[in-house]
């Protein structure tokens, strides 16, 4: 079945540094990728929708300059958390879709900013 | 825009009993309703989905029912087992080229031995 690989699974960084999270579709071409943030015991919060070759569409309240999304190819999207702060600590999950297929999720990245 | 409400937030059932989780949606244009299971610290996994052209879909112990008129859909798990313990999310979407899911708040299902 379709596989989405997300790396790293865990990252700890110091406040003020930037962190890049990669999301790859391993066996299909993802026309659309989504990035979510999930707080403990809460639902997934959509941050942005990313279409290959075009700028990401950010949800209201999500700072596009802080959460940089790049979808350079049909198999790779990256989320960069710039100048991370402790309040950015969270679980970030990507998902990908090819055409009209269901969504497939990455394993998520646990970000801890100290 | 679409809004999805999910109840209950926590559900505790005896092993072997059935569990039912309910969701309502607001946008009558929504036509795709998946259910995801998420274990702690792991990715959501699609367990079953239903399109608006059918009223019920079943896969072994799991079934989903959809009432388009009332705009609600439910997840039914029969003969529950300890491994069914997880958080379950419903979602609604209009099945277009962008396919953005609107998520319910989640239900923590606890299976008591």
Structure tokens at A40: 């403990």
Cis peptide preceding A8, ω within 30 of 0 = yes
DSSP A31: S
8 Å CB contact of A102 and B46 = yes
For B73-106, how does the pLDDT look when each residue is reduced to its tens digit (9 = 90+)? 999 999 999 999 999 999 998 766 456 788 999 9
- Find the chain A residues whose C-beta atoms sit closer than 8 A to any C-beta of B: 31-32, 34, 41-44, 46, 49, 51, 91, 93, 97, 100, 102-103, 105-108, 110
8 Å CB contact of B49 and A102 = yes
Interface of B with A in 30-69 (CB under 8 A): 34, 41-46, 49
Sign of the dihedral through C-alpha B27, B28, B29, B35: positive
For A5-22, how does the pLDDT look when each residue is reduced to its tens digit (9 = 90+)? 999 999 999 999 999 999
Sign of the dihedral through C-alpha B91, B9, A11, A64: positive
Going by C-alpha positions, the residue among A26, A19, A9 that lies closest to residue A88 is A19
For B25-46, how does the pLDDT look when each residue is reduced to its tens digit (9 = 90+)? 999 889 999 999 999 888 899 9
């Amino acid at each position: 079945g379709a596989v989405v690989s997300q790396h790293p699974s865990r990252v700890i960084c110091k406040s003020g540094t930037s962190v890049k999270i990669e999301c790859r579709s391993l066996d299909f071409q993802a026309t659309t990728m989504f990035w979510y943030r999930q707080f403990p015991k809460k639902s997934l919060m959509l941050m942005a929708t990313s279409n290959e070759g075009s700028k990401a569409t950010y949800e209201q309240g999500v700072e596009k300059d802080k959460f940089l999304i790049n979808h350079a190819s049909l198999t790779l999207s990256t989320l960069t958390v710039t100048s991370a702060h402790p309040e950015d600590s969270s679980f970030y999950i990507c998902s990908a879709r090819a055409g009209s297929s269901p969504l497939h999720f990455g394993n998520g990245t646990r970000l801890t900013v100290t | 825009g679409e809004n999805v409400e999910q109840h209950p937030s926590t559900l505790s059932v005896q092993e072997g009993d059935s569990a039912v989780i309910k969701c309502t949606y607001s946008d009558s244009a929504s036509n795709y309703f998946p259910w995801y299971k998420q274990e702690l610290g792991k990715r959501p996994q699609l367990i079953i989905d239903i399109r608006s052209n059918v009223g019920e879909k079943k896969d072994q112990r799991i079934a989903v029912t959809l009432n388009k008129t009332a705009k609600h859909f439910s997840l039914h798990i029969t003969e529950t087992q300890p491994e069914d313990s997880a958080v379950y999310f419903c979602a609604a979407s209009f099945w277009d080229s962008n396919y953005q899911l609107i998520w319910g708040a989640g239900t923590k299902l606890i299976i008591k031995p």
